[in-house]
Amino acid sequence: MKDFIEPRIIGAVRELLTGRGNELLGELQLQIPQIEFSEYQGGNVVVPGIALASCEQTEKERIIRQDAYFMSITFTLPESEDSEYHCYVYGAVVGKAIGENPTLGGVADRAVVTGKKYMQPNKPYCGDGWGIIVTLRVTVVNDE
């Protein structure tokens, strides 16, 4: 039986963010929390949420049997004086990592960043944090 592609896509994105994404963060002169996918909830790491869903295919994609997926990567940061800047850094890191490896290590045909939504607290210092949602469109050839 053939493996499902969805967990492979999510795994490839996680690997890309913890690999090349953290390398890019390490190249910065500032202390930016590393990206990690574990149960650890410390101040020196950030654990983004990843959600994957099917999305509408173009007519061309249907003809050539290409599946399309919508992925969102959500970074939620506690409020601090650097939180807004960190949101911009994470958005840039995800964009650069995906741009350098748009096939996600051979798992997908193409992954592109389609949007970035920056979220700020409704009221400063009331418990809400900063955040960014990076959206991707991932296409994969359906071999079935």
Q: Over the stretch 4-22, which tens digit does the pLDDT of each residue have?
A: 889 999 999 999 999 999 9
Q: What is the pTM of this model?
A: 0.88
Break the chain into its structural domains and give their ranges: 5-141
pLDDT tens, residue by residue, 36-73: 988 776 668 899 999 999 877 778 777 778 888 999 99
Which DSSP category does 3 fall into? P
CATH number belonging to domain 5-141: 3.30.70
> Smallest Cα–Cα separation from 18: which of 40, 56, 64?
40
Q: Distance (Å, rounded) from C-alpha 1 to C-alpha 3?
A: 7
- Strands of 4-142, DSSP E: 34-35, 45-46, 49-54, 66-77, 110-119, 130-141
